[in-house]
Chain A
């Protein structure tokens, strides 16, 4: 543990010293995204047409919100494997309780947030206080959350309410509402992490908890806050996802676990904790979604689509590992 934290200690200071010039992480993601856009323009021009983007950006936005949650946890040297359960539970609560009735939507959303708060506290206490291994604890929480999914709905979410459909699916200035929500959330996460004392402490603790404890920071509270914030973000993502798909399934969260980790890695956040990169992470979410759209558009078989995404992830890890070593 100490070795790992010491190893990443060197990656912490650039957040403080690097002001005024773009970070290596941002540069890497921007360059990769630009390269992908050029590839799209040459081989799959329709994938960056306004029609295609109007369809894919809302999903990229959901991926941004989920990944920002995962990023906060990874910054604390943790891993959150309860992403699928958390998203699926909020999808189910926000569709099953209202059952198509708009008036019931607000109570359902509040209930979903309450569950997210509970799950976040549970994760945070198990990992931050009881000191369980993050992977083991969040796998357990994931199973519990799926238990909730089945108990509430019997695995049967209902059709989205018309109001939720408008909240998630509407457009403003040519961009889906979901994209705007993601941008606002990104702004909040970035400002809190980079411009507030609490945010700086949060990053410092992630980079070196032992050191942070020595200087008197409340390490456990910060770790706990990472898991709680992450759950709240997954919950929001789930509610938006329920709004984007007319008849969601009870297991919509399943396809977000690996991408959420992949996006955090591509965004430059070290899996050993420390400094977080909200803007590169958001760009990486767009990159991965667009990569999916690219491979669908050029018409490669599904197996090849999976391989392309795996290669992109491998390349991302290789670039950062090479630089860190």
Chain B
């Protein structure tokens, strides 16, 4: 090897390593600070595909930050007692940060407060647990469904500029997802848009069998239904063929995206001219935002700009923006194509 070629080789190596360092520096997100920390993700009730995908998303987020030296996960299995003991035992083990889905609500607040006082960075998310930031926990990362209502309302206004007859279905009576969504809808829609359901929404308990019965009764009762609004798209599918049985087209639907629903739309849209579909993302990124906050506060990084998670429009069958309706027939129906987590990793998460 001549001197020149050695120089070139050296220069090339130096340039490569510089580039690699620069690239590495770029890859480190701003919320990932320099201090090492351990992170625990504590689910109150982890037994459904949405929750497993959301937890896997949070874990993937944590893996982006090399300051996180260890990652733990525990599932309260819907048992308040176990959720509380999970929180206490991870605090006692000395984890630096914990992201908590407090399904039991304020019942887990005393445990969270104790962990907070012991110096753990506690970040509850999505489910309200009461208490105050800085007193009972470090930060509460909430989710707002008002913006979903606004997005849905704008779609309805665009497709039915002269008013519409709407059917709104949500989960258990008084659930905040439905009430917030209604607030968003009402901020956009005026009195020309009429709800066919009893106020504030048809109670379905997010149970597909009950949803189907409610839909059947309403389809038989109302000769004209222009739009169905729902926060759980997959549960609608069993009831929608009733429209076809009555010789009517499936109407426009605004709801949450899921693979099964996308494929259903592709199967049905040719014979159902009124079947337009607008979906919002599945909301799995809420877990990522909570993980970012916990990591930022525990490692000395820069916290994200917002602590309120809002999901965005995912599919619009009319404009194709931001996406056409998607369907992957090679994947199970319960996969969220809207999630950042790859479908393969989602499969892995739900098959654990």
Contact = CB atoms under 8 A, between A and B. Distances in A.
B215 interface: yes
A293 interface: yes
Contacts of A252: 207-209
Contact of B213 (A44, A154, A247, A293): A293
Interface in B164-214: 173, 197-199, 202-203, 205-210, 212-214
Contacts of B214: 296
B188 to A, nearest CB: 24
B137 to A, nearest CB: 27
A159 B334 contact: yes
Interface in A249-266: 249-250, 252, 255
B301 to A, nearest CB: 33
A241 interface: yes
Contacts of B173: 302-303
Given A155-B48, A299-B198, A47 B208 contact: no
B28 interface: no
Interface residues of A, number: 38
B16 to A, nearest CB: 45
A169 to B, nearest CB: 8
A156 B260 CA distance: 14
B39 to A, nearest CB: 22
Interface stretch (A48-56, A195-203, A217-225, A227-235): A48-56
Given A99-B332, A252-B207, A252-B209, A297 B217 contact: yes
B352 A51 contact: no
B208 A245 contact: yes
Contact of B334 (A49, A55, A156, A241): A156
Nearest to B222: A46
A296 B198 CA distance: 9
A59 interface: yes
B245 interface: yes
Given A51-B242, A154-B350, 10 more contacts: A55-B216, A59-B212, A154-B47, A156-B334, A158-B333, A159-B333, A246-B237, A246-B238, A250-B47, A299-B198
Shortest Cβ-Cβ A-B pairs, 5 listed: A55-B216, A155-B47, A52-B220, A159-B333, A302-B203
12 contacts: A51-B216, A55-B216, A100-B333, A154-B352, A246-B237, A246-B264, A249-B206, A250-B48, A252-B207, A292-B213, A297-B220, A302-B202
